[in-house]
Amino acid sequence: MFTKRMKACLLAGAVLGMFCIIGAAARSGYQSSAGFLFSLWYNRLLMGLVIGLALGNQPLPKAMGRGAFLGLIVSFAFYGSTGFTDVVSFLAGIAYGMIIEYVAFKFSA
């Protein structure tokens, strides 16, 4: 289960989650609750897990499209939990899905 692809995806998700925490905290004037920030980080970690579970061995353009789609799906869960108010995090999730897929593509070969 812990293939190179899965490790790369989980690590990328965890790191991108930290960037999300920094961005969300700054956008809120550092008034966001710890629970909200943890949920955002955890969402990115789950995104890494979902993308890591997806079958590899696709050409990069297809893999990037899959990353965007899976990022959209996973980010939508968090977006819905915010009452559909955190649009920036939702859109970032699409880009982060592509980044995670790219990292997996490059480091899992």
pLDDT digits (tens, 9 = 90+) for 17-26: 999 999 999 9
pLDDT digits (tens, 9 = 90+) for 32-90: 999 999 999 999 999 999 999 998 788 999 999 999 999 999 999 999 999 999 999 99
DSSP letter string over the chain? ---HHHHHHHHHHHHHHHHHHHHHHHHTTS---HHHHHHHHHHHHHHHHHHHHS-----HHHHHHHHHHHHHHHHHHHHHHTTS--HHHHHHHHHHHHHHHHHHHHH--
Q: Tell me the domain boundaries of the chain.
A: 4-107
